């Protein structure tokens, strides 16, 4: 199956109250772990690729790996630019074969965010590519960008509804209390904001910073109308902790396959658990 836009599965996710996982791809082992978990769960998935990961892997390798995973699995898989910062990077990804892009204009004024997001939607739609927009500022550390809690601001439901109506995005990331990276305490999710926005627009809300959110909070978010959840940090932690353990136990090991194989298995276990929690098993 070729890569698909998120519209292949997000409308169904919203109607049937489940969420599709966006798992970030950082290298070949991440991509394999994610798709192997999806195959076992028969689930649709989204490969998220940040601009930093794109620089690390190279755009040609990124697209080739995602296309190989989609072809091998036969599953609906979207290749999605995560937190795209400009019209240019979104177009570069679409030209290279991405089936979905996020334009993150959350650091602009509402008027500018709407205007710039609209431009991306117009161009992407013509190519059959889905678009995610962002409103409000999600805290934490993503790539090299850090937003402290003071500058993270919750989305205002009436602004989110207006943002949707004017841009026509296919899903909308709104700041509702989660953060990127590792949590110090438990995140306080504002379900009322999710509910208010979802009730007023036909597309699902996206929850960023899904790593480390307690299972019950994830379930409540999905009930409130979250249809896409992003996970990256938990896979990074599983990968790195496993490599650390293997190397500590075998200080003379030198073959990367000896530590990358168990690291890949650990990430696959994380992804399988998330897919089940999100309710997207057997939704492919
Ligand atoms: Zn994010």
Judge whether 82 counts as a catalytic residue.
yes
CA distances from 119 to 136, 168, 215, 265 (A): 19, 11, 37, 41
- pLDDT at residue 186, as a whole number: 83
**Which residue among 82, 104, 148, 255 is the active-site one?**
82
Fold of 6-278: TIM Barrel (3.20.20)
DSSP strands (E only) in the chain: 20-24, 45-50, 77-84, 100-103, 130-135, 139-142, 145-147, 171-174, 179-180, 205-207, 226-231
* Residue 89 C-beta-side C-alpha neighbours within 13 Å: 20
- pLDDT at residue 274, as a whole number: 98
Distance from residue 175's CA to the centre of ligand 1 (Å)? 10
- pLDDT at residue 136, as a whole number: 85
Distance from residue 80's CA to the centre of ligand 1 (Å)? 12
Helices and strands, counts by H and E, the chain: 11, 11
Per-residue pLDDT of the chain (284 residues; tens, 9 = 90+): 899 999 999 999 999 999 999 999 999 999 999 999 999 999 999 999 999 999 999 999 999 999 999 999 999 999 999 999 999 999 999 999 999 999 999 999 999 999 999 999 999 999 999 999 999 888 777 776 666 655 568 889 999 999 999 999 999 999 998 989 888 788 889 999 999 999 999 999 999 999 889 999 999 999 999 999 999 999 999 999 999 999 999 999 999 999 999 999 999 999 999 999 999 999 99
Tokens 């950082």, residue? 26
Distance from residue 113's CA to the centre of ligand 1 (Å)? 16
**What is the signed CA dihedral for 260, 265, 268, 272, rounded to 10 degrees?**
-170
- pLDDT at residue 139, as a whole number: 75
- pLDDT at residue 2, as a whole number: 96
- pLDDT at residue 150, as a whole number: 52
Distance from residue 248's CA to the centre of ligand 1 (Å)? 32
- pLDDT at residue 182, as a whole number: 82
- pLDDT at residue 50, as a whole number: 98
Contact by Cβ (8 Å): 179, 170: no
Q: Name the pTM for this structure.
A: 0.95
- Listed by start position, the domains of the chain span 6-278
Neighbours of ion ligand 1 (CB under 5 A): 208
- pLDDT at residue 123, as a whole number: 98
């Amino acid at each position: 199956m070729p890569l698909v836009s998120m519209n292949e599965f997000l409308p169904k996710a919203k109607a049937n109250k489940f969420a599709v996982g966006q798992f970030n791809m950082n290298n070949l082992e991440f991509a394999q772990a994610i798709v192997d978990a999806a195959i076992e769960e028969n689930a649709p998935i989204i490969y998220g690729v940040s601009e930093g990961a794109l620089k690390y892997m190279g755009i040609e390798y990124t697209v080739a790996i995602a296309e190989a995973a989609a072809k091998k699995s036969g599953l609906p898989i979207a290749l999605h630019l995560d937190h795209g910062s400009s019209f240019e990077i979104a177009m570069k990804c679409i030209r290279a074969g991405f089936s979905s892009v996020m334009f993150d204009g959350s650091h602009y004024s509402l008027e500018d965010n709407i205007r710039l997001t609209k431009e991306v939607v117009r161009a992407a739609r013509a190519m059959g590519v889905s678009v995610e927009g962002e409103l409000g500022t999600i805290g934490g550390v993503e790539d090299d960008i850090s937003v402290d809690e003071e500058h993270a601001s919750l989305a205002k439901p009436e602004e989110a509804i207006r943002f949707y109506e004017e841009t026509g995005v296919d899903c909308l990331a709104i700041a509702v209390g989660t953060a990127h990276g590792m949590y110090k305490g438990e995140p306080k999710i504002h379900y009322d904001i999710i509910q208010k926005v979802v009730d007023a627009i036909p597309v699902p809300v996206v929850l960023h910073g899904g790593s480390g959110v307690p299972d019950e909070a994830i379930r409540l978010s999905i009930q409130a109308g979250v249809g896409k959840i992003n996970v990256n940090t938990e896979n990074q932690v599983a990968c790195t902790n496993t490599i650390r353990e293997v190397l500590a136990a075998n200080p003379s090991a030198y073959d990367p396959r000896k530590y990358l194989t168990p690291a890949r298995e650990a990430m696959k276990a994380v992804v399988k658990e998330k897919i089940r929690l999100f309710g997207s098993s057997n939704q492919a």
